[in-house]
């Protein structure tokens, strides 16, 4: 079994977060986004078709130690490409944060087996 946990430590408690997760994996994929107070989603899917998404949604971050865990029971290794970024206003002040994470579970190096987009803003609406 392959498992990988990502610490999403730049997303503060109280920020408004959204997530969108797709998979093109031939293996079963299990994904969980949680912190020390809340499970935001827990989903699983085996499909080479990205529709429907594995998970999508939004909510206020309620706790600390936000983590995204990906499990693939039939894979032996998970590799990842991570893009972390700030969302800035025109004056340069940070108004939010984001992560794009693409995961590879085999040797073809296409990084499309699981794709995650996480965004958190200081305010909503």
User: Which of 125, 124, 117, 121 is CA-nearest to residue 88?
Assistant: 121
Task: Please give the Cα distance from 105 to 76 (Å, whole number).
Answer: 8
Output the six-digit token pair for 91. 């004056």
Whether the per-residue pLDDT at 84 is higher than 90: the answer is yes
Q: Report in angstroms the alpha-carbon separations of 122 from 19, 48, 95, 125.
A: 15, 35, 6, 10
User: Which of 19, 62, 72 is CA-nearest to residue 39?
Assistant: 62
| Cβ–Cβ under 8 Å, residues 32 and 40 | no
Q: Report in angstroms the alpha-carbon separations of 50 from 35, 60, 113.
A: 26, 26, 10
pLDDT tens profile 22-67: 999 999 999 999 999 999 999 999 988 889 999 999 999 999 999 9
Architecture of the 2-121 domain = Sandwich (2.60)
pLDDT tens profile 3-16: 999 999 999 999 99
The predicted model scores a pTM of 0.95
Domain locations along the chain? 2-121
Output the six-digit token pair for 92. 């340069």
């Amino acid at each position: 079994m392959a498992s990988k946990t990502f610490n999403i430590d730049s997303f503060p408690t109280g920020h408004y977060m959204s997530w969108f997760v797709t998979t093109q994996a031939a293996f079963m994929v299990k994904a969980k986004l949680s912190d020390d107070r809340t499970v935001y989603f827990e989903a699983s899917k085996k499909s080479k078709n990205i529709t429907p998404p594995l998970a999508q949604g939004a909510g206020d971050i309620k706790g600390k130690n936000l983590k995204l865990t990906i499990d693939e029971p039939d894979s032996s290794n998970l590799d990842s490409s991570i893009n972390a970024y700030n969302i800035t206003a025109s004056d340069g002040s940070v108004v939010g944060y984001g992560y794009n994470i693409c995961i590879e579970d085999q040797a073809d190096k296409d990084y499309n087996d699981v794709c995650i987009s996480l965004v958190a803003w200081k305010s909503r609406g």
